[in-house]
Amino acid sequence: MDCCVFAGQGAQVPGMGRDFAEADAEARTLFDKANAVLGFDLKKICFEGPAEELTKSNVCQPAKFVPSSAAYRALQKRRATPFACAAGLSLGEWGALCAAGVLDFDSTLTVLEARGRFMQEACEATPSGMIAIVGASAEQLAALCEKTGCTVANVNSAAQQVLSGSKDAIAQAATVAKELGIKRAIPLATAGAFHSPFMAPAREKLAPILDAITFRAPKFPVLSNVTGRPHANDGAAIRAAMLEQVTGTTNWAADVACAQAMGCTRFIEFGPGKVLSGLIKKIDAALVTANVGDLASLDATVAALG
């Protein structure tokens, strides 16, 4: 059984989605529709950059979603593939919800532009950051958080977590991690402390945006970053969970474990890069991964599916 997955910020690159748009009228329509909904030339930024523009959260979040959506539709057009479930990391969870029919394409774009803008504003209001922790035991991680005041933002695998905190706390975490004997602590080049209490202003601003959008029951299960289990078959409950996701921990490891428990042995990643494929392999090397990020990888994945 297969699970479709969608990555978050960090995998964006200039040129993403361009060959899909050049080869297929439906993909071109997605980018044109995005420009109309957003009111700026997202297509040009996706295809040409500059890379600095793609790092702005209000641009990056819809810019990551549209090529991923084009990739998903391109596979379904070439080889209709039933998925046992879907999952995504952070903003990627919105791509998974769209693929499952919870939100339509236009509504997802609207949410992601606002979400990115509000998160960027929260980052600029209070200096904060993130640090990746590799090879820490549960006890070491707990001690690190207690000593620095950092909180767990992402659980990527048993061996890799990401902490969020103030700039001072992140700097302190790098020192304390060494004192605790943790293998590696790597400060990340992020705009701020995502998936933490620092994002409370963004969560508050996003609430009325989500209230104005229709959330439907998913056509197939979508795994929640917050709970590590499938979202309820209820639009209001999904809306509440996605609002909580802004400030809550994203537990990717739990999502992958849940997909495995549902019988999934193959994970197909949509959009540029193979970030999630790499994390999935670290969780369980026996799992099969594939990706659809351009026409060449689409051909390879179609061939692998048989």
Looking at residue 305, its pLDDT comes to 92
* Percent share of the chain, pLDDT over 70: 100
Domain range for residue 183?
128-188
Rounded distance between C-alpha atoms, residue 17 and residue 115, angstroms: 22
- Quote the pLDDT of residue 9: 85
Task: With cut-offs at 50, 70 and 90, classify the pLDDT of residue 299.
Answer: very high
Reply yes or no on whether 90 is catalytic: yes
Residues 95 and 179 in one domain: no
* Stretch 268-284: mean pLDDT: 95
Helix (H) or strand (E) holding 236, with range, is: helix 235-247
84 shares a domain with 57: yes
Residues 119 and 135 grouped into a single domain: no
Domain count, the chain: 2
Considering the domain architecture, whether residues 154 and 221 belong to the same structural domain is answered as no
Tell me how crowded residue 140 is: count the other CB atoms within 10 A of its CB: 17
Once rounded to an integer, what is the mean pLDDT over residues 139-153? 98
β-bridge mates for residue 230, sequence order: 223
Q: What is the pLDDT of residue 83?
A: 97
| The last residue of a domain, from among 188, 211, 231 | 188
Q: For the sheet containing 184-188, what is the strand order?
A: 184-188, 128-134, 160-166, 151-157, 250-251
Question: What pLDDT does 57 receive?
Answer: 85
Note whether 227 and 105 are same-domain residues. Answer: yes
Judgement on whether residues 178 and 91 belong to the same structural domain of the protein: no
Q: Is the pLDDT of residue 105 over 80?
A: yes
pLDDT band at 19 (very low <50, low <70, confident <90, very high): very high
Query: Which CATH number covers residue 207?
Result: 3.40.366.10
The catalytically annotated residue of 195, 224, 231, 297 is 195
- Which among 155, 188, 221 is the end of a domain? 188
Q: Which two tokens stand for residue 133?
A: 């922790």
Average pLDDT taken over every residue of the chain: 96
Per-residue pLDDT tens digits for 160-195: 999 999 999 999 999 999 999 999 999 998 889 999
Same domain, 109 and 215: yes
Residues 31, 112 share a domain = yes
CA dist 29 and 32 (Å) reads: 5
Neighbours of 146 (CB within 10 A): 10
Cα distance between the two ends of the chain: 14
* Final residue in a domain of this structure, among 171, 188, 205: 188
pLDDT at 210 over 90: yes
Question: Does the active-site annotation cover 128?
Answer: no
Compute CA distances 106 → 110, 111, 176, 250, whole Å. 6, 9, 45, 25
| Catalytic-role residue among 57, 90, 128, 196 | 90
148 & 202 share domain: no
CATH number of the domain to which 171 belongs: 3.30.70.250
pTM assigned to the model: 0.96
Share of the chain above pLDDT 90, in %: 93
How would you list the strands of the sheet with 266-270, edge to edge? 85-88, 2-6, 266-270, 288-292
pLDDT beyond 90 at 276? yes
